[in-house]
Structure 1
Amino acid sequence: MAKLEELSELLVSEIRNFEMAVKKLEEIQKKKITIDISEFKKAMSDHKLLMENQNSTTKRTVDHFENLMKDGNINPKWAVIVFIVSLALNCIGVMIILFL
C-alpha cells in the first residue's frame, strides 16, 4: 500500500509539473515574438558596397596591367636588330673560318 501511495504521489507531482510546463508554453504562444533584421540588412548593404568598391578597384588594376602588356615590348626593337645583325656576322665569320 505504501508503494502505491508513493507512486500516486509521484504521478500527481509529474502531472502538476506537466500542467505548469503547458501553462508556460501557452504564455509563450500568446506573446508575439518578432525578429528585427534591420541591423543585419544594414551590415549586408555595407558589405555589398565594400565588395563593389573592391571589385571595381580590382577591375581597374587588371585593365591597367592588360594595357601595359598589350603596349609593352619585352625587348626594344633596336636591341633585336643589333642581336640579329651580330648573329648573322658571327655566322658569316664562322663560315669564313671553316672554309679557309
Structure 2
Amino acid sequence: MTKLEELTALLVNEINDFNKGVEKLEKISEQINSTKIKMDLTEYKSIIEEHQKQMSIHKNMMEGFENRFNNKIKEAKIYPSWAVVVFVICIVVTVVSISMLILK
C-alpha cells in the first residue's frame, strides 16, 4: 500500500505543478494581450523624406546628363566639316584637271 500512496502523492504533486504552470502561462498570455507595442515612426519618416529628396535630385541630374549626351550624339559627325569641304574640292580639282588633260 505504501507504494500506491507514494504514487498518488507524486501524481497529486505533478498535477499541482501542472496547474501552477498553466496559471503562469495564463498570466503571461493576459499580459501579452494587454500590452500594446507602439512604434515611433517620425524619425524614419524624416529619413525617408530626405532620401526621397536626394533621389529626386539624383534623378534630375541623370536626366540632364542623358539629355546632354543625346544632344552630343545627334550633333556628332564622323568627319569634321572642313575635311569634307577639302575632300570635295580635291575631287573637283582632280576631275577638272583630268578632263583638261584628256581634252587637250
Structure 1, gaps ≥5 residues long: 94-100
TM-score, normalised on structure 2?
0.68
Distance 1:12 1:81, change over 3 A: same
- Residue 68 (structure 1) aligns with: 72
Distance 1:66 1:10, change over 3 A: same
Q: Distance in 1 between matches of 2:81 and 2:18?
A: 96
- Cα RMSD of the aligned pairs, angstroms, is 2.3
The higher radius of gyration belongs to 2
Is 2:15 the counterpart of 1:4?
A: no
From 51, 54, 60, give the equivalent of 1:56: 60
From 47, 52, 56, give the equivalent of 2:51: 47
Q: Distance in 1 between matches of 2:54 and 2:11?
A: 66
Amino acid at match of 2:52: K
